[in-house]
C-alpha cells in the first residue's frame, strides 16, 4: 500500500515542476467587452453555469436512486461508486478526456489529445473552461449509469478503472463524433450516406444515455446476475430495494437536474428556445411516468413505484436528443413510447437473465436510442442546428427522409461502438484485475467486504432475499 | 385492465393524427432581437426558468416532508401520490388547465378553454411556453398540498382523479380571477366594492397555498380521521411520523425552492426587487420557525421539530402574497403571526377531530389567508402592481383602507370557493368511486394494499401506534 | 415558560411601533436604468441570488452530513440545531450582524452597528438587500460548522445562544476585517507589515471555514469527548454514524452549493472568471476526495466513505480562498494537500482526545487556514483584487513574497481571534448556562431528553456503541 504515497508524492512533484506561468488566451475574463455583446456573453455564462450545477447535482440523484434500489448490505458501496466515479472522472477529463472530446478535430475521429492537457496554455481561457465544466458534468452522467446496473457484485477497484477509462477514452471519442465536429455530425461520408445530413443529438440521448446504458448492458452480461436473482430453473426472483423514499428523492433530483441538462445544452441563455426545451422535457417525463404506471398497474394489479420513477427517467432520456426540435404533442408521444420501452425492456431483460438492478439498460440504453430515432421522426423544422439561425431540422413526419436516415446510421454506429468497447473493456477487466467479488463477499455484502462499513449500523435488519430463498 | 392499452393506443393515435404543422407565433425564439431589449428579454427567461426549476424541486420537498410524517406502512403510497399528481397534473394543465388560467379572459370568469390546447397554433410560442412552465410548477404546488393532509387513508385512484380535477379546473379558475385578468383583480365590481382596488397576490399565498390548504380542510373533513387517531372519548392520540431526517430535508428543500417561488413571480430578472423579495422571504420563514419553536417549547416543555418546520413553512406562506410589497420589519411581524397561526391552528384542528397528518391546513390554508390580509395591512407603497412602474400598492397601516377591503373580499371569496369546490369534489368522489380504503387495508398500510410494496423491506419495524392503542 | 409569550408580544409591539415610513435609497429597484448598465446590473442580481440560493441549500447539506454521522438517538437534535441556528442567525444578522460586517468602517475594526438595523432607512435598498442576503447565507454556513463537531452532547439552549452570538458578533467582526474594509484587508499597518499588501480571501476559506472550524476546536476542547468515545486508557473507539446514505447526500448537496459559494463571490455575473472558479472548485473537491480515499485505503485496507466525503469537503475549503486566483494545476495540488490535511487532522485530533464527530475541525479549520496559505503561494497574477480590473494578485511561487506575508499574518490573526473568542465564549457558557447535558441525558440520547421525540420511532435499533462498550 506504500505505492499510494509514492503516487501522491509523484503527483505533487510533477505538478509543481510544471511551467507555472502559462501562455493563456483569457484566463480572467478581462476580454469581455462592456457593451451589448459583453452583456449577452455574461448571460450565456450565467445560464450555462447554473445548468451545469444542476447537471452536477444529478450525481446525487443517481446515487440516491441506486442506493435505494439495492439491499442494505450494499448501500455504502453503491454510494462510494457514484461518488468516486465523479472524482476520478474529473481528473481523467482534465488530463485527457476533454481534449479528445473537444480538441481540434483529428480526421473526424477525436480531438487533439494534448490540446487541453490540464487546461494549460491556450486552453487556460474562461470560455474554454466554461465548456470544460459543462462537458465534465455530462461525461460524469454517462459514466455513472453503469454503477447502478451492475450493483451488488463488482469489485470496487475495477469499477474505478472502468470509470477512468470511460471518462478518459470511450465517452470522449464517441462524443467527439457528434459534438466535437467528428464524422457522424459533419463528414462527406455522412452527407452521402444520410441523404445530405449529419447526425444530431441536442443534449445527449445518444452521447450520454445510450452510450452509458449500452455499456451497462455489456457490463451486466459480462458480470452475470447476482446470486439469488434466479432460481435453478432460471426463473427471476424479485430482489426489492431497501429504501423507496430515497429512490423517489433521487428521481426528483434527476428530473430537477434534467432541466439544466436539456435547456443548458443551448450553451446560451440568449436562445429563448430554452423555454420550449423545458416544456418538452417536463411533458415527456410526466407522460413517461404515467405510461409506465399504467402498464405496471395492468400487469401486476397495482401501480409500481420503481417503474413510475423509471418511466419518468425513460421519458426524459427519450426527449433529450430532440428537446429543442420537437413540439409538445410530439414530446407526449415520445413519452408514451419511452414508458412502454422502459416497462417491456425491464421485463424482457429480466427474463433473459440480464440482471440490471436499477433498470438502467432500458431507461438509458434503449430509450437513448429511441430518443435519436424520435428526433429523426418528429423534428418540426422550426429550430436550426443547435442555434436559432442554423439550418432548420426537419424529421421524417415532416417529409424529410434524409435526416432520418442519418439518425438511424447514428443509432447503428452507436450501438456497435458502445457494445464493442463495452464488451472489450469489461471482458478485459474480467480477465485481468477481475470484475466480480467472491461469492462469499457478495453474500456478506460489499459494504463489509469492500469498505468495512455498515450503512445503517444501528438498524436491525432482516434479509428479505434470504427469506425468498427459504420460500423457494 | 385491457382498457389501459386501449387508452394508450387511442392517445398515440390521436396525437399522431393531429396537425403536425401548426400555426405558430415564435416557437424557436428567433424573434429575440440582438439589442438591449433582446438582452433584457434573455435575462427574464434565464431568471424565470431557474426559479421555475426551484419551484419544481419543491415537489421533492413536499414528498420528503409528507413521507417523513407518515408511518412506515404508508410511505410508498405518499411518495407515489406526490409523484403522480405532478405527472398527471402536467397532462391536465397541457390539455385544459393553462387555457382556463391564462387564456384570453371570458367575462372575468376564466380563460378561453381552447386557447392553449396542447400548446398548438398561436400558443406554440417561446414566451407563452415560458409562462406555461412557470404556471405549471405553481399549479402542481397547490395540488400536492392535499396529499399530506389526508395521508394514510385515501384510495390511490381517487387521489389521481382529485389531482386531475384540481389542476384542470379548480385551481385555474380561481387563479384566473387573480392572475389571469379575472374579476377579483380587475373588474368594475371589485373597484366599486373594494374602494377603488382589485385584489393582489404576488406569488400566491391565496392562489396556491390557501386554495390548496382549504381543499385539504374539506378533504380531511369528508374522509374522516385515521383509525387510532382518536380514543373512543374523542381524545387525540399522537401518531408520530417515521423519519424526522427526511422531514427536515424536505423542509430545507421547500425553503430553497421558495426563493424561486417568490422572487420568480416578478416574471423578470430585470426587476431588482427580486433582492428584497428574498430578504422578506427568508425573514418570515426564520421568524415563523422561531415563533413556533418557542410556542411548542412553552406548551410541551421541549422544542418540537415538526412545529419548527411547519412554523417556517407557515412564515413562508404568510409572506408569499406580500413579499414584494412589505418591509423587512413587516416580514418579521408576518412571520410571528404565521408561527402563532400554525401552532394554534394545528392544536385546534386536532382537538376538533380534523386529522391533518402534516399540518397542511394550518400551514397553507390559514396562513394563506393571513398572507392576503397581511398584504392589505403592510404594503408600504414603494413598489407597484407586479412591476416597478405599476401603480403603487399601499396597505391599511399606511392609510389605505380601500386596498385592504379588496384583500378582505378576496379572502372571503377564496374561502367560499375553496371550501365549496372542495366539499363538492370530495363528497362527489366519496359517493361515486369512493374516497377511502377499507379499514383492513388502512390497518395493513397503503403500501401493501395499494402498491404491493414495502418502502423499507429489510428494516425490522415495530408498530408504534399499535403500542399506543395497547397502552390506551 | 410564560416569558415566551411576553417575548412575542414585546417583539410584535416593538415592531409595530417602529416608523412605518422609512427613508429609503431604492427599495423597489426603480433606479435600475433601461440601458446597458441596467442590463448588466440585472445580470449581477440574477447571478448573486441564484448563487445565494445554492449557499442557502448548503444548510441542508450540513444537516444531512451531521445527522448521518451521529447515532440514532441524537438525530433530531442535530437536525434542530442545524435548522434553528439559521433561523436565529437570520434575526441576529438583521438586528446587528450585518451592520458590524458591512456597515461603514469604524477604525478598521467593525462596521457602524446601527447602519443597517432591521434594514431601515438608507439600508432599505435593493442593492444593499442583495448583499445582505448573500452575506447572511455565508454567515450561516460558518455558524453551522460547530454543530456537527460537538454533536451528541451539548445543551440545545446553549447552542442557540452560541449561534446568536457568533452570527451577531464574532463572525461579523472578523469578516469586517477582510471583507468590510477592515484592517486586515486595507490598512497602513498591513501594508507595512505585509510588504505592501492586504490580506485576501475570495470566498471565505478563512472568514467562513477556518473561523467556524477553529470555533469548533475550542468548543470540542471545552465540552470534552462523548461518553464511550475513549477507553479508560484513552484509546479512541469508533462511534459509527447511523446513516451513510444521507451523509453522502449531504456531501453532494454541499458540493452543489459550493459552486454558488465560490463563483457567487464575484458578486457579479459579468465577471467571466466565474467559469474558471467552477473549474478550480470542482478539481480541488475531486482531488481532495481521491487523496483522502487513497490514504484511508492505505491505512485501513479499505476505502472509507466518511473520509471520501470529508476529503472532498476539505478540498473545497482549501480552494475557497484562492478559487479565482489559481490555475487548475494548482487547484489539484491544493486538493492533494487538503486531502492529506483532512486525514491526518482527523487521526491526530482523535488520538489527542478531541472528539469531533464529523471531522469539522480538520475539514473547515485546518483546511481553511491552508486555503489562505495556498492563495499566498499559487495566485498566478492573471486576475485582480476581486474584479477583473483590480490590481493583479500574485503569490510566492510567482515571485511575490509580500502578499504571502500578508496571508500568513492573516492566518496567525485569524487563529488567535477564532480560538480566543471561541474559548472565551464556550468557557463563559459552560460557567453560566452550562454547555453539556447530564451523563444520563447523554446516554439516553438528546432526542428524548431535549426534544421528547424519536427520529425513527418505528425502527427497531440496536445500540452499537453499547456493544462496543460490552466488548471493551
Q: Which of C39, C71, C272 sits opposite A45 (nearest CB)?
A: C272
Task: Band the pLDDT of B169: cuts 50, 70, 90.
Answer: very high
Bridge partners, residue B394, by sequence: B380
Task: Band the pLDDT of A317: cuts 50, 70, 90.
Answer: very high
More confident residue, C8 or A151: A151
DSSP for C238-265, written as a single string: ----S-HHHHHHHHHHHHHHHHHHHHGG
Would you state the pLDDT for residue A17?
45
The residues, ordered by sequence, that sit 6+ positions from A326 with a Cβ below 8 Å of its Cβ are: A280, A319, A334, A374, A375, A378, A379, A380, A395
Task: Band the pLDDT of A18: cuts 50, 70, 90.
Answer: very low
* Rounded Cα distance, C172 and C166, in Å: 8
Alpha-carbon dihedral angle through residues B303, B308, B310, B311, given to the nearest 10 degrees: 100
pLDDT tens readout for residues B356-397: 999 999 999 999 999 999 999 999 999 999 999 889 999 999
Rg (CA), chain C: 22
How open is the CA angle C112-C118-C122, to the nearest 5 degrees? 65
Element (DSSP H or E) covering residue A380: strand A380-384
More confident residue, C124 or B3: C124
SS3 C111: strand
Q: Is the pLDDT of residue A22 over 50?
A: no
Inter-residue contact B43 to C269 (CB < 8 Å): no
Would you state the pLDDT for residue C25?
86
Residue ranges of the domains in chain B?
36-471
Q: Is the pLDDT of residue A197 over 50?
A: yes
SS3 C383: strand
Would you state the pLDDT for residue C24?
52
Task: Band the pLDDT of C196: cuts 50, 70, 90.
Answer: confident
Would you state the pLDDT for residue C68?
98
Q: Is the pLDDT of residue B9 over 80?
A: no
pLDDT tens readout for residues C164-182: 999 999 999 999 999 999 9
Q: Is the pLDDT of residue C339 over 70?
A: yes
ipTM, interface predicted TM-score of the complex: 0.94
Residue C159 contacts B where some CB pair is shorter than 8 Å: no
% chain C with pLDDT above 70: 93
A128 CA: distance to closest CA in chain B (Å): 22
HEC letters along chain B: CHHHHHHHHHHHHHHHHCCCCCCCCCCCCCCCCCCHHHHHHHHHHHHHHHHHHHHHHHHHHHHHHHHHHCCHHHHHHHHHHHHHHHHHHHHHHHHHHHHHHHCCEECCCEECCCCCHHHCHHHCCHHHHHHHHHHHHHHHHHHHHHHHHCCCCECHHHHHHHHHHHHHHHHHHHHHHHHCCCCCCCCHHHHHHCCCCCCCCCCCHHHHHHHHHHHHHHHHHHHCCCCCCECCCCCECCCCCCCHHHHHHHHHHHHHHHHHHHHHHHCCCCCCHHHHHHHHHHHHHHHHHHHHHHHHHHHHCCCCHHHHHHHHHHHHHHHHCCCCCCCHHHHHHHHHHHHHHHHHHHHHHHHCCCCCCCCHHHHHHHHHHHHHHHHHHHCEEEEECCCCCCCEEECHHHCCHHHHHHHHHHHHHHHHHHHHHHHHHHHHHHHCCCCECCHHHHHHCHHHHHHCCCCCCCECECCHHHHHHHHC
How open is the CA angle B311-B260-A275, to the nearest 5 degrees? 150
Mutation choice for B interface testing from C10, C12, C13, C27 by most B CBs within 10 A = C27
Q: Is the pLDDT of residue A145 over 60?
A: yes
Element (DSSP H or E) covering residue C344: helix C328-351
**Looking at chain B from residue 320 to 349, which residues have their Cβ under 8 Å from any Cβ of chain C?**
327-330, 332-333, 336-337, 340
pLDDT tens readout for residues C267-311: 999 999 999 999 999 999 999 999 999 999 999 999 999 999 999
Residue C55 contacts A where some CB pair is shorter than 8 Å: no
Q: Is the pLDDT of residue B70 over 70?
A: yes
φ, ψ dihedrals at C95, nearest 5°: -80, -45
pLDDT tens readout for residues A397-426: 999 999 999 999 999 999 999 999 999 999
- Please tell me the number of Cα atoms within 13 Å of C425 on its side-chain side: 28
Would you state the pLDDT for residue A66?
98
SS3 A458: coil
Residue A452 contacts C where some CB pair is shorter than 8 Å: yes
Q: How many CB pairs (< 8 A) connect B and C? A: 247
Contact between chains at C286 and A21 (C-beta distance less than 8 A): no
Cell 395492468 -> residue: A298
Residue A310 contacts B where some CB pair is shorter than 8 Å: no
Q: Is the pLDDT of residue A471 over 50?
A: no
**Looking at chain B from residue 78 to 117, which residues have their Cβ under 8 Å from any Cβ of chain A?**
79-80, 82-84, 86-91, 94
SS3 C436: strand
pLDDT tens readout for residues A245-270: 999 999 999 999 999 999 999 999 99
The average pLDDT across C318-326 equals 98
pLDDT tens readout for residues B171-181: 999 999 999 99
Would you state the pLDDT for residue C195?
79
Q: Is the pLDDT of residue C236 over 80?
A: yes
B238 CA: distance to closest CA in chain C (Å): 11
Would you state the pLDDT for residue A464?
76
Q: Which of B39, B72, B329 sits opposite C15 (nearest CB)?
A: B329
B4 CA: distance to closest CA in chain A (Å): 7
Q: Directed axis angle between helix C367-378 and helix C328-351, to 10°? A: 150
Contact between chains at B286 and C29 (C-beta distance less than 8 A): no
From first CA to last CA, the distance across chain A in angstroms is 44
Q: Which of A456, A231, A309 is nearest to B458 (CA)?
A: A456
What the block records as the C-alpha cell of C387 is 474584479
Element (DSSP H or E) covering residue A110: strand A110-111
Contact between chains at A5 and C298 (C-beta distance less than 8 A): yes
Q: Is the pLDDT of residue B472 over 60?
A: no
A244 CA: distance to closest CA in chain C (Å): 13
- Please tell me the number of Cα atoms within 13 Å of C129 on its side-chain side: 29
Task: Enter the DSSP assignment of C203.
Answer: S
The average pLDDT across C79-94 equals 98
> With 0-12 CB in 10 A as exposed, 13-18 as middle and 19+ as buried, what is A34?
exposed
Task: Band the pLDDT of B471: cuts 50, 70, 90.
Answer: very low
Cell 473568542 -> residue: C421
Q: Is the pLDDT of residue A465 over 90?
A: no
pLDDT tens readout for residues A169-190: 999 999 999 999 999 998 989 9
B141 CA: distance to closest CA in chain A (Å): 14
B424 CA: distance to closest CA in chain C (Å): 37
Q: Which of A72, A305, A337 sits opposite B76 (nearest CB)?
A: A305
Task: Band the pLDDT of B196: cuts 50, 70, 90.
Answer: confident
Element (DSSP H or E) covering residue A105: strand A105-106
Residue B69 contacts A where some CB pair is shorter than 8 Å: no
Would you state the pLDDT for residue B353?
97
* Rounded Cα distance, A44 and B42, in Å: 9
- Strand extents, DSSP E, C319-440: 380-384, 392-394
pLDDT tens readout for residues B121-159: 999 999 999 999 999 999 999 999 999 999 999 999 999
pLDDT tens readout for residues A428-462: 999 999 999 999 999 999 999 999 999 999 999 99
Q: Which of C30, C90, C453 sits opposite B283 (nearest CB)?
A: C90
Cell 427522409 -> residue: A401
Lowest mean pLDDT among A386-390, B50-54, B206-210: A386-390
C367-377 burial string, b = 16+ CB within 10 Å, else e? Answer: bbbbbbbbbbb
Q: Is the pLDDT of residue C1 over 90?
A: no
* Rounded Cα distance, C446 and C441, in Å: 6
CATH code for the part of the protein at C36-471: 1.10.3430.10
Q: Which of C297, C302, C382 sits opposite A28 (nearest CB)?
A: C382
pLDDT tens readout for residues B316-329: 999 999 999 999 99
Name the average pLDDT for chain A: 93
pLDDT tens readout for residues B96-122: 999 999 999 999 999 999 999 999 999
Q: Which of B1, B29, B57 sits opposite A256 (nearest CB)?
A: B57
Inter-residue contact C145 to C212 (CB < 8 Å): yes
pLDDT tens readout for residues B446-468: 999 999 999 999 999 998 755 45
Q: Is the pLDDT of residue B20 over 60?
A: no
Amino acid at each position: 500500500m506504500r505505492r499510494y504515497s509514492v503516487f501522491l508524492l509523484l503527483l505533487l512533484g510533477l505538478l509543481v515542476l510544471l511551467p507555472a506561468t502559462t501562455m493563456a488566451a483569457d484566463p480572467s475574463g478581462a476580454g469581455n467587452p462592456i457593451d451589448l455583446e459583453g452583456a449577452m456573453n455574461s448571460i450565456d455564462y450565467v445560464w450555462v453555469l447554473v445548468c451545469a450545477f444542476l447537471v452536477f447535482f444529478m450525481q446525487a440523484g443517481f446515487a440516491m436512486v441506486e442506493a435505494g434500489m439495492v439491499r442494505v448490505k450494499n448501500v455504502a458501496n453503491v454510494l462510494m461508486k457514484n461518488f468516486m466515479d465523479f472524482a476520478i472522472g474529473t481528473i481523467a477529463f482534465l488530463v485527457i478526456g476533454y481534449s479528445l472530446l473537444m480538441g481540434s478535430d483529428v480526421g473526424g475521429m477525436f480531438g487533439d489529445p494534448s490540446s487541453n492537457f490540464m487546461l494549460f496554455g491556450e486552453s487556460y481561457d474562461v470560455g474554454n473552461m466554461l465548456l470544460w465544466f459543462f462537458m465534465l458534468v455530462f461525461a460524469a452522467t454517462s459514466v455513472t449509469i453503469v454503477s447502478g446496473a451492475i450493483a451488488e457484485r463488482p469489485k470496487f477497484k475495477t469499477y474505478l478503472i472502468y470509470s477512468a477509462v470511460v471518462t478518459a477514452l470511450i465517452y470522449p471519442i464517441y462524443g467527439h463524433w457528434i459534438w466535437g465536429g467528428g464524422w457522424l455530425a459533419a463528414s462527406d461520408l455522412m452527407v452521402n450516406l444520410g441523404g445530405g445530413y449529419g447526425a444530431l443529438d441536442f443534449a445527449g440521448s445518444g452521447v450520454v444515455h445510450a452510450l452509458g446504458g449500452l455499456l451497462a448492458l455489456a457490463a451486466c452480461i459480462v458480470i452475470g446476475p447476482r446470486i439469488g436473482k434466479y432460481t435453478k430453473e432460471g426463473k427471476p426472483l424479485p430482489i426489492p430495494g431497501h429504501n423507496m423514499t430515497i429512490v423517489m428523492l433521487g428521481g426528483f433530483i434527476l428530473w430537477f437536474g434534467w432541466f439544466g441538462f436539456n435547456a443548458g445544452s443551448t450553451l446560451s441563455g440568449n436562445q429563448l428556445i430554452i423555454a420550449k426545451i423545458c416544456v418538452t422535457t417536463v411533458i415527456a417525463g410526466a407522460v413517461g411516468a404515467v405510461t409506465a404506471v399504467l402498464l405496471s398497474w395492468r400487469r401486476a394489479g397495482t401501480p409500481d413505484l420503481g417503474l413510475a420513477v423509471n418511466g419518468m427517467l425513460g421519458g426524459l432520456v427519450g426527449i433529450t436528443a430532440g428537446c429543442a426540435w420537437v413540439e409538445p404533442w410530439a414530446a407526449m408521444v415520445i413519452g408514451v413510447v419511452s414508458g412502454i420501452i422502459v416497462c417491456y425492456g425491464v421485463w424482457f431483460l429480466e427474463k433473459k437473465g440480464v440482471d440490471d438492478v436499477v433498470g438502467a439498460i432500458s431507461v438509458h440504453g434503449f430509450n437513448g436510442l429511441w430518443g435519436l430515432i424520435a428526433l429523426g421522426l418528429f423534428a418540426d423544422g422550426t429550430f436550426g442546428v443547435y442555434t436559432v439561425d442554423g439550418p432548420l431540422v426537419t424529421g421524417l413526419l415532416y417529409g424529410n427522409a434524409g435526416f432520418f436516415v442519418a439518425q438511424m446510421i447514428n443509432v447503428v454506429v452507436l450501438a456497435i461502438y458502445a457494445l464493442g468497447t463495452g464488451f472489450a473493456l469489461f471482458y478485459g477487466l474480467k480477465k485481468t484485475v477481475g470484475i466480480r467479488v467472491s461469492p462469499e463477499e457478495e453474500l456478506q455484502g460489499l459494504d463489509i467486504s469492500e469498505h468495512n462499513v455498515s450503512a445503517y449500523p444501528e438498524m436491525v435488519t432482516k434479509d428479505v432475499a434470504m427469506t425468498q430463498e427459504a420460500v423457494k
